[in-house]
């Protein structure tokens, strides 16, 4: 989205000079930021082949603060900052993007959008509204080498009180080789002045995690964005849609086209020809976005994934619509914005192609030249949406987006590469598998049953040849207590090859969870290296089943009522414990009179 200024200089002959400056659409108010707030517009992610700005108010991809002076703020290919500053590598694939949320509150449309001016403010919510500003409301940045052994300032000041993700030991959760985290909300009514919205707030708090990998290949051409949304207001939001809005400027913005792939839940921008004048020349890239995991909605026969946790009775929505519009047809009213989010035209009419009413614009295949294809190239906007859904007060939702840039020998091969990157496994590291020990790790009576050990199995899929090359001696788990020992296991159920078993002191592992009665899941990491010296980092999750052995009535404590429960069960035909594991005190896999003796010894023999 640029405006072309031409300066004609006549000194004996006529010279034409053109410069490209990005500006919002005509009639749009420029961004206005209350100077009393901690707007973070200078932080960017640059782990791989893309440098992209990320803010703490919903917008990303836009250099709002003019750090490099190009306005657009998603540089590809990225080599170093010096190359951007001197203009030798200053081409961009994205001008701006952001999160939109819209829905009905008591039948009236309410919106929260991040566009050319944003309706979110930094920080979390409290008591149903936004909090007074604080300098700690910023974008936090971690590097793979700035963790516990070499912490940077953001690691040491990780904002747990704001909701920043931590593992089971309370340490920051690290994703990728570089990770950004921020929290923002739409609860300040004075921030809702955007031309395309201007409604009362929804009361939504957003936790955004953005990460990337330092990889010279395809993985370095990707960026991941995870949104966690919380309805912290007092209103039920019905017919809600969650959208990723984008203004892709692929080098020269005047020759862009857009499209979507409904089967793979992705949308993209590509060049209309093999001549991206003044920028990528005859080999223009393509940029795309994929909904890896959408919001969850009720579905009795399905099981959804919520950030790694299964949710029976729900399913994940994919991308349910894609809308495009061009500079000059931007929405100027909340009704028009909500129409676009639902896959309608600006004025609420259904999109029709070939006599069919569709929720997706331009879902044809540009590479094959078939189906509904975009035409008449110009400055494009694209919006992928998920919905409808209902957000009750206290509800939360989780959305995972993958962004990728494909760069081939021409515009069409770039589309093919971009789709391959978006559809590739996440992330592109050895296809490792994990499993916990055969019996679930459960909360136990630490004083009565020590010493005991817990173990975690780690191994690889033998069908992935690279997995056979990692050096077990270099394996290092993170986010768990120090290991007692590491043992190589030649064969283990669930693995197609040898595995390694980490043993942990159970008391140290479970101490942070001693008061819990519900299961909890936390993330841990295993890093190491291959025999050729290349390193890897693998992420997985471990489930701690938070009941205590002996707590038969599941009230969180072990006392005389549990002994009475056990006597009733054994001798008077009383009900069995809801979790039989709580009655297996000697951990031998069966429940019998010997377990009662252990409980009596624990209660009266100390």
Residue 562's pLDDT is: 87
* Average pLDDT taken over every residue of the chain: 81
Is pLDDT of 461 > 50?
A: yes
C-alpha angle 22/23/29, rounded to 5°?
160
User: Which three-class secondary structure state does DSSP give residue 254?
Assistant: helix
Q: Which candidate, 35, 7, 32, 3, places its Cα nearest to that of 20?
A: 3
The answer to whether the predicted template modeling score (pTM) of the entire model surpasses 0.85 is: no
Residue 122's pLDDT is: 97
Residue 306's pLDDT is: 85
H or E stretch at 183 = strand 178-185
b/e for 231-268, b at 16 or more Cβ within 10 A?
bbbebbbeebbbbbbbbbbbbbbbbbbbbbbbeebbbb
Residue 447's pLDDT is: 31
Architecture of domain 432-548: Sandwich (2.60)
User: In sequence order, what are the residues at sequence separation of 6 or more whose Cβ sits closer than 8 angstroms to the Cβ of residue 308?
Assistant: 521, 523, 541
Residue 13's pLDDT is: 23
Range in 188-202, 425-439, 509-523 with the lowest mean pLDDT: 425-439
Is pLDDT of 362 > 80?
A: yes
CA dist., res. 564 & res. 598, Å (int)? 14
Is pLDDT of 527 > 70?
A: no
Tens of pLDDT, residues 511-524: 554 444 444 455 55
Is pLDDT of 162 > 70?
A: yes
Q: Taking a C-beta distance cutoff of 8 angstroms, is the pair 462, 430 a contact?
A: no
Q: For residue 502, name the pLDDT band (cuts at 50, 70, 90).
A: low
Tens of pLDDT, residues 379-391: 999 999 999 999 9
Percent of the chain with pLDDT over 70: 72
Determine the distance from the C-alpha atom of residue 426 to the mean position of all C-alpha atoms in its chain, rounded to a whole number: 12
Range in 69-78, 216-225, 387-396, 451-460 with the lowest mean pLDDT: 451-460
Residue 347's pLDDT is: 93
Q: For residue 341, name the pLDDT band (cuts at 50, 70, 90).
A: very high
Range in 213-222, 302-311, 367-376, 560-569 with the lowest mean pLDDT: 302-311
Is pLDDT of 23 > 50?
A: no
Q: Which candidate, 565, 543, 540, places its Cα nearest to that of 553?
A: 565
**Mean pLDDT within 79-105:** 95
Higher pLDDT, 389 or 492: 389
Residue 586's pLDDT is: 74
Range in 1-10, 48-57, 366-375, 535-544 with the lowest mean pLDDT: 1-10
**Mean pLDDT within 26-46:** 73
Is pLDDT of 84 > 90?
A: yes
Is pLDDT of 319 > 70?
A: yes
Higher pLDDT, 548 or 180: 180
Pairing outcome for strands 535-548 and 442-443? parallel
b/e for 281-316, b at 16 or more Cβ within 10 A?
eeebbbbbbbbbbbbbbeeeeeebbbeeeebeebbb
Residue 311's pLDDT is: 84
The phi, psi pair for 129, rounded to 5°, reads -145, 175
Is pLDDT of 334 > 90?
A: yes
CA dist., res. 383 & res. 65, Å (int)? 24
**Mean pLDDT within 601-606:** 72
Residue 497's pLDDT is: 62
Which of the given ranges, 172-176, 200-204, 501-505, has the highest pLDDT on average? 200-204
CA dist., res. 296 & res. 280, Å (int)? 40
Please provide the size of the chain in residues: 606
Which of the given ranges, 72-81, 166-175, 505-514, has the highest pLDDT on average? 72-81
**Mean pLDDT within 594-603:** 83
Is pLDDT of 444 > 70?
A: no
Residue 171's pLDDT is: 81
Long-range contacts of 212-217 (CB under 8 A, 24+ apart): 212/45, 212/46, 212/47, 212/48, 212/50, 212/176, 212/177, 212/178, 213/47, 213/48, 213/176, 213/177, 213/427, 213/428, 214/47, 214/48, 214/144, 214/177, 214/178, 215/48, 215/177, 215/428, 216/49, 217/428
Is pLDDT of 481 > 60?
A: no
Integer CA distances (angstroms), 73 to 108, 270, 363, 492, 578, in order: 35, 18, 28, 49, 56
Q: For residue 36, name the pLDDT band (cuts at 50, 70, 90).
A: low
Domain map of the chain by residue range?
44-423, 432-548, 560-604
**Mean pLDDT within 30-41:** 71
User: In sequence order, what are the residues at sequence separation of 6 or more whose Cβ sits closer than 8 angstroms to the Cβ of residue 360?
Assistant: 260, 262, 321, 322, 343, 351
Residue 453's pLDDT is: 47
Tens of pLDDT, residues 445-454: 333 333 344 5
Is pLDDT of 89 > 50?
A: yes
**Mean pLDDT within 216-224:** 91
Residue 585's pLDDT is: 79
**């694939």: which residue's tokens?**
93
Number of H helices, E strands in the chain: 8, 35
Q: For residue 418, name the pLDDT band (cuts at 50, 70, 90).
A: very high
* Alpha-carbon torsion angle 154, 156, 160, 161, nearest 10: -90
Q: For residue 24, name the pLDDT band (cuts at 50, 70, 90).
A: low
Q: For residue 110, name the pLDDT band (cuts at 50, 70, 90).
A: very high
């Amino acid at each position: 989205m640029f405006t072309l200024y031409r300066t004609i200089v006549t000194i004996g002959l006529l010279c034409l000079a053109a410069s490209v400056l990005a500006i919002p659409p005509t009639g749009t108010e420029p961004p206005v930021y209350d100077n009393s707030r901690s707007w973070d517009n200078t932080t960017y992610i640059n782990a791989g082949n893309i440098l992209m700005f990320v803010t703490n108010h919903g917008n990303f991809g836009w250099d709002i603060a003019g750090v490099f002076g190009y306005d657009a703020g998603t540089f590809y290919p990225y080599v170093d900052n010096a190359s951007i500053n001197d203009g030798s590598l200053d081409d961009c694939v994205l001008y701006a993007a952001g999160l939109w949320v819209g829905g009905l509150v008591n039948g009236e449309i309410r919106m929260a959008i991040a566009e050319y001016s944003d309706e979110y403010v930094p920080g979390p919510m409290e008591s149903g509204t936004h909090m007074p500003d604080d300098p700690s409301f910023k974008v936090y940045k971690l590097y793979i080498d700035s963790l516990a052994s070499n912490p940077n300032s953001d690691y040491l000041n990780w904002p747990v009180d704001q909701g920043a993700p931590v593992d089971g030991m309370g340490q920051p959760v690290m994703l990728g080789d570089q990770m950004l985290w921020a929290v923002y909300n739409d609860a300040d009514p004075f921030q809702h002045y955007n031309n395309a919205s201007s409604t009362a707030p929804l009361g939504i708090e957003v936790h955004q995690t953005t990460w990337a990998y330092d990889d010279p290949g395809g993985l370095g051409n990707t960026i991941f964005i995870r949104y966690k949304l919380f309805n912290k207001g007092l209103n039920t939001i019905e017919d809600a849609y969650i959208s990723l809005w984008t203004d892709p400027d692929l080098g020269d913005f005047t020759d862009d086209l857009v499209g979507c792939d409904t089967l793979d839940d992705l949308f993209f921008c590509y060049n209309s020809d093999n001549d991206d004048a003044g920028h990528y020349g005859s080999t223009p890239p393509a940029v795309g976005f994929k909904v890896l995991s959408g919001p969850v909605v009720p579905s009795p026969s399905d099981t959804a994934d919520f950030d790694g946790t299964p949710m029976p009775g729900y399913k994940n929505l994919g991308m349910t619509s894609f809308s495009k519009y061009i500079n000059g047809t931007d929405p100027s009213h909340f009704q028009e914005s909500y129409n676009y989010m639902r896959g309608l035209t600006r004025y609420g009419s259904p999109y029709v192609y070939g006599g069919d009413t569709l929720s997706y614009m331009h879902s044809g295949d540009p590479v094959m030249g078939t189906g509904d294809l975009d035409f008449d190239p110009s400055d494009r906007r694209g919006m992928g949406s998920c919905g409808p859904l209902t957000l009750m007060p206290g509800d939360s939702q989780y959305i995972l987006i993958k962004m990728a840039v494909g760069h081939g020998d021409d515009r069409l091969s770039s589309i093919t590469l971009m789709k391959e990157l978006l559809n590739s496994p996440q992330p592109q590291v050895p296809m490792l598998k994990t499993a916990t020990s055969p019996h679930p790790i459960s909360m136990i009576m630490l004083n009565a049953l020590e010493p005991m050990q817990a173990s975690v199995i780690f191994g690889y899929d033998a069908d992935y040849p690279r997995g056979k090359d990692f050096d077990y001696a270099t394996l290092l788990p993170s986010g768990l207590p120090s290991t007692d020992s590491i043992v190589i296991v030649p064969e283990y159920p669930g693995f197609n090859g040898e595995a390694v078993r980490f043993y942990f002191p159970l008391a140290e592992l479970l101490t942070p969870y001693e008061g819990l009665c519900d299961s909890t899941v936390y993330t841990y990491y295993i890093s190491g290296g291959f025999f050729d010296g290349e390193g890897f980092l693998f992420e997985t999750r471990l489930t701690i089943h938070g009941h205590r052995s002996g707590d038969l009535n599941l009230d969180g404590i072990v006392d005389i009522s549990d002994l009475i429960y056990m006597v009733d069960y054994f001798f008077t035909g009383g009900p069995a414990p809801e979790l039989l594991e709580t009655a297996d005190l000697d951990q031998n896999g069966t429940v019998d009179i010997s377990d009662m003796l252990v409980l009596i010894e624990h209660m009266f023999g100390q």
